[in-house]
Chain A
């Protein structure tokens, strides 16, 4: 079980959090202008990489705030935690 450093509350057990998939996938501003393929790209396609992955987490049983995490999927080591809206760090 990980320890996650919530940017609002501090370090807590993973059981207080919920994962929300890959980060930095912005909802298109004008979905109706998109082709099926473009919409499918947003809707379905995810990187699922082995290595550093930027992903969304929510402190669901805490402050209920969403934030971003850079996690190494090969060993679960969390490199950086940063707030929503911030740019992904270079790692």
Chain B
């Protein structure tokens, strides 16, 4: 089809700049300034997609972001393809390729169309009722449902485009650059406010800018000419920034808004290279002016969804702005004066209007008179009862309405047409206002929700505030602005306005039909295929809350969020349920107002910029020595060091054995370190740890458990008394920040009287742990001056020392059960001390080991890892660590909770060891533990928390938590796996050297 429906040249379209594009494989032409929708309509294409559920043919319905039907897939290539793009918004560019979504094999022949004939068995809630049971079948149904109902395809490669985020701070933000927004922006900027004006379109001036009618004049100029001059003026104002192609996605509290600025999507493909595609603007504005306009309502009647049925205002825009006729035989159907503007305008351009059908019975206005004077038949008091034409409307049938508007009377009249414009009046676009927490009120006269109360410094003006006509706008907007901006006078007061619009409207939410409702398809939500029938069914089935009806029928849940039909859904519910519209409320309008790309949301935070990562001072050595890394919080920790193509298991077995046979070395710099000073430091530790600290001698170390007030283990670590009032506390790697936060919380809020100072010194020190039977020999070579005798330097003690004049702290502490030393030295010396240890340890086969070996070694010794063997439901008693809970201390954090009725129960999950019947069988961490597999339902006793093959014990070992496990030592339990069951025996969690001979060696 190439018949040209470009009927009139338009100043918004550059006919010297021809652009070719492809739609569903066929090449078409349009001009610079066209959207995909206008260019398709100019080529006579209405059918652009299939509906979601019934696969009915659907056409372009609107000329804006509220479009429910004309959503297409843009395919540039597999990395840049984009689904759900509104054809009414995308500006055409050289190289554009688009195709219909939701149809297979093609939009003209769609197999899913059979759903249309099956529709009596596809009512509201059909999917819920049919496919949710039995639950296990869902996976099978889902595949077919997704295939037949998919809304587009996502790209299968990473997004190659560049996106970014930008913060903007301004005094006044004006959303929407229609006539009200232009007036607001000029008023604010002229009065010295730093102003930002945003509009989603590529041009300024909203719908007024293409209005070309003698019926609407300002100061004796046609309204569009007047506005054009104002726009030219505001472009020169210095403190006014204007952003077009920018859509406000979200309006949060405290005047914080997110907007998407589109920078390259309209450019020819070859001009986009290395340019930022889209930008997320994070706007904080002192004041916000909503000038978001209004959306025309459709009318709800049988078969109101055929291609060729458009909003009357869309037909108006296509002819006025794009110079495109949507049809050659037009019929307009309205309940207000708007459609007459369209009729007059089409008639002036020589586009045939067959008839105007008006719900209103006795109505007259200048606009109606002019239409009638042009010999266009006006049917007053009539309604459309049906339409025909499968892929394009061919005919409408109309009947007379009864006086109460609830029935039809008389006989049917048929009118042939290829385009039907519908107008159900206007709905203020209050989406952003309500997103910000604003409350609406219902205006009975014309059945609209308008802004009422808001909690931030904002105002709504123009048609989004319910002032729809030119005279209303120009009389209200300047007054509202004066008060809102607290200014004395406005340039826009006392304008002479001429507007012929008659405001009368006859609102009937669901128009009567000559058929029973069960036999009709009056669509309320076009995108989700929800009809008035579905809404009535939901009410019949007992749904009352508007939010429930919405979810059950899916009304308003599409990508367009039901911008067109939500009001009708509310109206039909209120009529059917007999409740008042104002009391029913509305559904919640959620951000984003129009969909955002993921690229815009993440901006530059992709790949290695996704999150910061922390490296230890010894990191480079690990890299040079072939370490594999694991993420622990934000840290990159050496995981294991494979040698000669070793796999992880082999490397860990080798490292683990070497650490117990000779010596191992671990980079422990990531452990949290908190410096604690003050005269009350000991008292403070007494209160935050479960054990006693007052009597810890200077130079000694002690292991501590920290609980929450609920008695559950929160963190653990070794703390060393450096001096009378000076301690250094270590925490787990992951818990460092939260432990410091928790300690600060208690100091600031519960015990401000304590003289204690906390400083995080995690990054200040490198920590090198050397363990194993040969560790003493190695340390004595690294620090020859240090007396390492057991008497002078026993296990759990500390010494200040020096390595080449550089001060360091050496602790004799162990997380492996081996004799071991920890050197803490200023971070920048970390790598060289590590290298010295490696050099001095060479003769003892010192072996670097990573976190995996560390975990294995501590599991052999039965040491817990908080967060792996505990999960915020474990008390120290559950962990068989009663020995660390002081009985003498009057109080510590969590103490009272240790004897709550729940924590003293005997059958709580308790930490135990597990040994497998087959010593080579290694359990899966997380596997369930049961006693009786034949009992139904099977009782879950607990789960495996840590599991390894121990090269030192030459058998599989595991830790787990089991109900009442403490008293089950020696008992046999079962671990059921997918294809087998594993028999285990409950054991003591300490598998190696229970007497601590190695530690004290």
Contacts and interface: CB of A to CB of B under 8 A. Distances in A.
A11 to B, nearest CB: 10
B896 A66 contact: no
Contact of A36 (B284, B748, B895, B901): B901
A43 B897 contact: yes
Contact of A43 (B256, B437, B709): B709
A36 B900 contact: yes
A32 B896 contact: yes
Contacts of B744: 64, 66
Nearest to B282: A1
B896 A39 contact: yes
Interface in B216-231: none
A80 to B, nearest CB: 16
Interface in B246-288: 252-254, 256, 284
Interface residues of A, number: 25
Contact of B455 (A43, A77, A84): A77
B144 interface: no
Interface in A1-50: 1-3, 20, 26-27, 30-32, 34, 36, 39-40, 43
Contacts of A2: 253-254
A29 to B, nearest CB: 9
A1 B745 contact: no
B900 A40 contact: yes
Interface in B735-758: 741, 744-745, 748-750, 752
Interface in A48-91: 56, 58, 60, 64-66, 75-77, 84-85
A3 B169 CA distance: 13
Contacts of A76: 253-254, 437, 455
B143 interface: no
B128 interface: no
Main secondary structure of the interface of A (DSSP, over half): loop
A84 B900 contact: no
A64 B891 CA distance: 27
Nearest to B710: A43
B445 to A, nearest CB: 29
Given A58-B745, A75-B437, A31 B896 contact: yes
Contacts of A30: 891
A28 B284 CA distance: 42
A34 B891 CA distance: 12
A32 B888 CA distance: 12
B672 to A, nearest CB: 16
B598 interface: no
Interface string B507-538: 00000000000000000000000000000000
B505 to A, nearest CB: 33
Given A1-B252, A2-B253, A43-B710, A56 B900 contact: no
Contacts of B284: 3
B777 to A, nearest CB: 45
B682 to A, nearest CB: 20
A19 to B, nearest CB: 12
Nearest to A2: B254
A32 B437 contact: no
Interface of B: 252-254, 256, 284, 437, 455, 709-710, 741, 744-745, 748-750, 752, 890-891, 895-897, 900-901
21 contacts: A1-B253, A1-B256, A2-B254, A27-B709, A31-B891, A31-B895, A31-B896, A32-B890, A32-B895, A36-B901, A39-B900, A43-B709, A43-B710, A43-B897, A58-B745, A60-B741, A66-B744, A75-B437, A76-B254, A84-B748, A84-B752
User: Which 9 A-B residue pairings sit nearest by Cβ, starting from the closest?
Assistant: A31-B896, A75-B455, A1-B256, A66-B748, A76-B253, A27-B750, A39-B896, A3-B254, A75-B437
